[in-house]
Structure 1
Amino acid sequence: MDKLDPERRSRNMARVQAKNTGPEMRVRRIAHRLGLRFRLHRADLPGKPDLVFPRHGIAVFVHGCFWHRHVDCKRASIPATRLEFWEKKFKANVARDLKQQTALEASGWTVLVFWECELKDESSIEERLRSATNISLQFKS
């Protein structure tokens, strides 16, 4: 049973952002600190990647574990109510993500996915960005 009444639940769900989320901002700050320049939410690319590094041919998605169903993640729980609705919604989200990533890769882009639960470790984010972009391991200050 949901702990919130339908009106409060609706208000909470309406506040969920698609752009400029906390996890996305964290990846953006690290990329910028590394000296990487990027474009945001390019509408001309499948899935409007959260960050695009045109010079390196890399598209980055920062996924929330709940909405995009991070496998074996405790944040990818399933709500107890309206189970059929949520299963259908999550299945569609995962299928859409796969379709968009496949289309980007077919167009020659390298796709990176950062999961919300992985973003606590900044050094890990930094290492993945450095590796993908082939930038030197010397820290840029």
Structure 2
Amino acid sequence: MRIPFACLLLFSATVLSQDASITPRYRKFIEQHVNGRMSVDRCDSVIGSRGISKTNSNECKETNTFIQATTNHIKAICEQAGEPYGDMTKSLQPFPIIVCTLKNQQGRLPHCQYRGQARTRRIAIKCEQGFPVHFERDIIHFEN
């Protein structure tokens, strides 16, 4: 009875240590790019409340894309629902997205103003250890 319990503890520690290395980047990806209830008129409030800005500054980010899906659907791109796209992974299916584009150039938090646009596109993301960690771009896909 002690051996299986010890194995369970060892397995749990291994899984947790793997998650610990990816969790901050995955959490940041979720915070910056995942919002199932996002709409085109909520760019200012959502970006402001989440504190999304250019890296290591208080400058407004020029463009930010929100994926209107669950984390499980997006994570699946890194597994069976995606295909290689350079050093990224491209979704096999299109996703509804909201692209927020900065209206007031040289703006600073918390005074960023955005114009939102709804699209349905395949998306390219960077995956590490099975987790999405970077949104690269949306892809226009024409069916033949």
TM-score by shorter chain over 0.5: no
The structure with the greater share of residues assigned to helix is 1
Structure with bigger gyration radius: 2
The structure with the greater share of residues assigned to strand is 2
Q: Which has the higher contact order (CA 8 A, sep 6+)?
A: 1
